[in-house]
C-alpha cells in the first residue's frame, strides 16, 4: 500500500509540473496576444518561472511587438 501512495504522489507532482511548465505559459501568452508556442518553448528550454515572469512584465502585445 505504501508503494501505491508513493507512486500516486509522484504522479501528482509530475502532473503539477507539466501544468506549470505547459498550460500556464500557453494560457498567459494567449490572453496577452503573444505566440503561445514560442513561450512554451521558452518555458521548456529556460524555466517556467522565467517565462511566466517575462509574460507578466511584457503585458499585452501591440501588433508590432508580437513575439
Q: What is the pLDDT of residue 66?
A: 56
Predicted confidence (pLDDT) at residue 3 exceeds the cutoff of 60: yes
Q: What is the pLDDT of residue 67?
A: 57
CA angle, residues 38, 61, 28, in degrees to nearest 5:
55
Contact yes or no for 52/23 (Cβ under 8 A): no
Which pLDDT tens digit goes with each residue over 9-47?
999 999 999 999 999 999 999 999 999 999 999 999 999
Cell 501591440 sits at which residue? 62
Predicted confidence (pLDDT) at residue 50 exceeds the cutoff of 60: yes
Amino acid at each position: 500500500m505504501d508503494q501505491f501512495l508513493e507512486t500516486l504522489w509522484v504522479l501528482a507532482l509530475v502532473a503539477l509540473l507539466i501544468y506549470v511548465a505547459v498550460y500556464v505559459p500557453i494560457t498567459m501568452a494567449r490572453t496577452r496576444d503573444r505566440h503561445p508556442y514560442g513561450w512554451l518553448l521558452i518555458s521548456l528550454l529556460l524555466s517556467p518561472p522565467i517565462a511566466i515572469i517575462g509574460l507578466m512584465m511584457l503585458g499585452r502585445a501591440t501588433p508590432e511587438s508580437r513575439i
